Homo-oligomer: A and B are copies of this chain.
Amino acid sequence: MAVRIYREQVKTRGATEIVDITGLASGALRASGLKNGVLIVFVPGSTAAVTTIEFEPGAVRDLRAAMERLVPQSIPYEHDKRWGDGNGYSHVRSALLKPGLPIPFEDSSLLLGTWQQIVLADFDNRPRTREVVFQVIGE
């Protein structure tokens, strides 16, 4: 058993942009040379999150619309009253969707569904360069 960590920079426009990071995840797994184990995808920061979705423009727009319905940008947030940075909604969306996800792999392949991609959701209200952590644990 071994542990390997890879970091990748991902530029986003913020504003709940949803970015397909499956290729980066697969690249980290390949670089590790490990065959069986788990990949932890984790985004440090309190205004982003990680999940999976069928990465086609319709479903992506639907997820963005759902986040806007569930945690609207237009209502007042206490965070904004205190800090004035206008991204209170970003913090709540991030806490709701959470920053980490474990994905098993076997025979050097992630056990994702055919139409299932790993995505970074950047909820901040401005463009960001995110560092995403891909940790490979296995043998």
Contacts and interface: CB of A to CB of B under 8 A. Distances in A.
Interface string A73-95: 00001111111000011011011
Given A46-B113, A51-B95, A56-B79, A36 B100 contact: no
B58 A104 contact: no
A26 to B, nearest CB: 15
B81 A58 contact: yes
Interface residues of A, number: 61
Interface of A: 1-3, 5, 36-38, 40, 42, 44-46, 51-54, 56-59, 61-63, 65-66, 70-71, 77-83, 88-89, 91-92, 94-104, 106, 111-113, 115-116, 119, 133, 135, 137-139
